[in-house]
């Protein structure tokens, strides 16, 4: 009688299934740091917010880039959010503009996994936040009487 290779022991698929079943049954508890990270990520949700997706940014004509700053554009729910991102010196500076300007009482919230900075929008829809840690960020525009609009999460690496 000839034995197939799978009859000599569990295959890697079987091992993954067994591991998944053990995890689901509670025999292999989720590490504390994984659970804490999951809770922190869950806390960053914004139920009811519209997600502003990246949009193409036209190349500036006649302007020479310094190589440090970059322009990002996001759009959703009738708003456009332009961000000038500078990551020089190990920290991130954001200068932004919401178009059309949402009016009195509107504010921009710049969120990172570690901190949130809130700024009132100027009458022209502008705001700035300096000294942010490099990494992931999202900008949320809060307008009175409207649901928030949040940019998709974007990663900025130090230069």
**72-126 per-position pLDDT tens digit:** 999 998 999 999 999 888 899 999 999 999 999 999 999 998 899 999 999 999 9
Does pTM top 0.95 for this prediction?
Answer: no
| Terminal Cα-to-Cα distance of the chain (whole angstroms) | 65
* Mean pLDDT (whole number) for 10-31: 74
Alpha-carbon separation of residue 90 from 38, 101, 135, 158 (angstroms):
27, 31, 11, 5
Residues ≥6 apart with Cβ < 8 Å to 156: 85, 87, 92, 134, 135, 137
């Amino acid at each position: 009688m000839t034995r197939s290779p799978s009859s000599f022991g569990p295959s890697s698929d079987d091992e993954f299934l067994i591991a998944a079943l053990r995890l689901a049954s509670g025999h292999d508890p989720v590490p504390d740091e994984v659970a804490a990270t999951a809770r922190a990520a869950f806390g960053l949700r914004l139920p009811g917010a519209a997600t502003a997706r990246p949009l193409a940014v036209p190349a500036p004509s006649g302007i020479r880039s310094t190589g440090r700053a970059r322009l990002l554009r996001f759009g959703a729910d009738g708003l456009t959010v332009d961000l000038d991102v500078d990551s020089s010196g190990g920290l991130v500076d954001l200068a932004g503009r919401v178009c059309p300007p949402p009016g009195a009482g509107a504010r921009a919230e710049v969120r990172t996994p570690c901190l949130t900075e809130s700024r009132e929008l100027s009458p022209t829809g502008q705001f700035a936040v300096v000294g942010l840690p490099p990494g992931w960020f999202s900008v949320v525009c809060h307008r009175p009487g409207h649901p928030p609009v949040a940019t998709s999460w974007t990663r900025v690496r130090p230069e």
